[in-house]
Amino acid sequence: MEIDPVCSMQIDPERAAARAEHQGKTYHFCCPGCQKAFLADPPKFIGKAHSSGAHPAGHHHAKH
């Protein structure tokens, strides 16, 4: 299960209503509205997910 970074809902990646990639990571969303909010300001929601402990500390970031 993945966590929707906008609403914190648990999402089955295979049934996600929407997806988006940001810095090499795919995020899954419960609805297109959450995807749209995320794409408008990804750092706002990524910080929220990290502060709640929704993502493991060792997940990978894209290197440039």
pLDDT level of residue 47 (50, 70, 90 thresholds): confident
pTM exceeds cut of 0.85? no
Between residues 6 and 54, which one has the greater pLDDT? Answer: 6
- How many separate domains does the chain show? 1
Decide if 40 is inside a domain.
yes
Residue numbers of the domain that contains 16: 2-49
Residue 27 belongs to a domain: yes
Residue 23 in domain: yes
Average pLDDT of the chain? Answer: 80
Would you tell me how many other CB atoms lie within 10 Å of the CB of residue 6? 20
- Residue 56 is assigned to a structural domain of this protein: no
Q: How far apart are CA 53 and CA 20, in angstroms?
A: 20
